[in-house]
Amino acid sequence: MTSKKLSALLAAALLCVTAWSPVNAAEKQKPELLVFAAASLTNVLGELSPAFEKKSGVTVKLSFAASSALARQIESGAAADVFVSADQEWMDYLQTRDLLDQKSRRDLVGNHLVLIAPADSTVSLKIGPNLPLLAALGKGRLSTGDPDTVPVGKYARAALTSLGVWEAIEPKLVRAENVRSAMMFVSRGEAPLGIVYATDALVDSKVRVVDTFPDDTHAPITYPAAATKNAKPQAAAYLKYLNSAGAREMWKKFGFVELKKK
Q: What was the pLDDT predicted at 184? A: 97
Domain of residue 212 covers 113-217
Q: What was the pLDDT predicted at 70? A: 98
**203 and 228 belong to one structural domain:** no
The DSSP annotation for 171-200 comes to: GGEEEESSHHHHHHHHHTTSSSEEEEEHHH
Question: Is residue 170, in this structure, part of any structural domain at all?
Answer: yes
CB 79 within 8 A of CB 189: no
* CATH number of the CATH domain containing 166: 3.40.190.10
| 40 DSSP 8-state letter | G
Lateral strand order in the sheet of 113-118: 173-176, 142-145, 193-197, 113-118, 207-212
Question: Is residue 20, in this structure, part of any structural domain at all?
Answer: no
Q: What was the pLDDT predicted at 15? A: 39
Q: Please give the Cα distance from 40 to 50 (Å, whole number).
A: 18
CB 133 within 8 A of CB 193: yes
Residue 39: CA count within 13 A, CB half-sphere: 22
Q: What was the pLDDT predicted at 21? A: 39
**102 and 168 belong to one structural domain:** no
Q: What was the pLDDT predicted at 262? A: 61
Question: Is residue 244, in this structure, part of any structural domain at all?
Answer: yes
Q: Which of 101, 116, 83, 98 is nearest to 223 (CA)?
A: 83
CB 198 within 8 A of CB 212: yes
Distances (CA, A) of 112 to 142, 217, 255: 18, 11, 9
Question: Is residue 239, in this structure, part of any structural domain at all?
Answer: yes
**63 and 122 belong to one structural domain:** no
Q: What was the pLDDT predicted at 209? A: 98
CA 87, chain centre distance (Å): 10
Q: What was the pLDDT predicted at 20? A: 38
Question: Is residue 150, in this structure, part of any structural domain at all?
Answer: yes
Question: Is residue 262, in this structure, part of any structural domain at all?
Answer: no
pLDDT truncated to tens, each residue of the chain (262 aa)? 554 444 444 444 443 433 333 444 443 577 899 999 999 999 999 999 999 999 999 999 999 999 999 999 999 999 999 999 999 999 999 999 999 999 999 999 999 999 999 999 999 999 999 899 999 999 999 999 999 999 999 999 999 999 999 999 999 999 999 999 999 999 999 999 999 999 999 999 999 999 999 999 999 999 999 999 999 999 999 999 999 988 999 999 999 999 987 6
Q: What was the pLDDT predicted at 89? A: 96
Q: How many domains does the chain contain in total?
A: 2
Question: Is residue 14, in this structure, part of any structural domain at all?
Answer: no
Q: What was the pLDDT predicted at 30? A: 76
Q: What was the pLDDT predicted at 24? A: 44
Write down the H helix ranges in the chain: 3-19, 22-28, 42-56, 67-75, 88-96, 133-137, 151-162, 166-169, 179-187, 198-202, 235-242, 245-253
